[in-house]
Amino acid sequence: MHQLAYGHWFRADAPVSHLQRTVLLQRHLGTPSSTVRITGTTALKLLKLPDGDHYPWANRIFAHPEPLRGGELRRHQKHLHQLSWNGGRRRTSLPDVKLTKSYSLGSYQGPWDSVIVHPVEALVVAAPMMDRWSITAALDAMLCIDRLKPLGTSEPDVFTVESIREALELLPPASRAVREVHRALADIQFPTWSAMETLTRMLVLACGMPRPIMNFRVETPRGHSILDSAWPEHMTAVEFNGRDHSQDHASYKDEMYRNEVLRGLGWKLRIVSFDDLRKMDRLAEWLTWLGGHLGVEPDLSRVTDTRLEHSEPW
């Protein structure tokens, strides 16, 4: 029935995805006296913000505690519809729907005419299930949002460190989730465009290396290039290649050409993949390479234990 009622949003011959069903439920459960909005990891995913990846080996390197409710993350991401109410109390007996009271920070227009909570509120709801580095990745990405409009307005919001901190100040200060987001906020750096860029940068810093400039623009005779993590004074950069690099062959070939142009200009480039982050021998190898070009000896004391290397492939 819901698909027929809102069938113009989705293709009638295609199955409704988990995210689309959440949007339908949000519209179905809302009333004039009670605004129902999407929150938690579901809202983060709709906003295209990192919604959590659990890597015990990264937590060990960073000396971060394991997330309080990390075991719930996959269910929230794949099966649970996370909604919140504001106004009159709302209840539902529908399976796999979690409906909680909102923090009331504000409403935003999401995909398919959905209504989403403030990104900071969504992150605080999800934070107990997320690694701290992953919370930092979500905050990094939040600073790069450029088209998210508050409900009922035409101008998009601009998210800054100050506006994120102000939003956090409106939430319960004793909340462990709020405190954890505050801690993660200390590690953000603009502009960082992906979770793996965040993780790579934090690994570099955890091993005592100088802070890079993120997404550094280099002008060349063949056009400009953007380097994920760069140390311009040393003409050195680290590039993370994820799954999209292998799936888009045309872009991959263009990137390889641009990298060779950069090398011709004297840049030292190291291309790393997810296995170069999670396999301790490979992590130590490229960090040593980086330290050699930066004139710094990396502290590898936290990357010598290989017991926690296993993780899902990126």
Confidence tier at 314 by pLDDT (50, 70, 90): very low
| Whether residue 110 has pLDDT greater than 60 | yes
| Whether residue 304 has pLDDT greater than 80 | no
* pLDDT tens-digit readout, 54-84: 999 999 999 999 999 999 999 999 999 999 9
Predicted confidence at residue 3, as pLDDT, reads 44
Domains annotated for the chain, with CATH where assigned, are 2-188 (no CATH), 196-294 (3.40.960.10)
Distance CA 181, CA 104 (A): 18
The rounded mean pLDDT for the chain is: 91
* pLDDT tens-digit readout, 130-169: 999 999 999 999 999 989 999 999 999 999 999 999 999 9
Of 243-247, 250-254, 269-273, minimum mean pLDDT range: 243-247
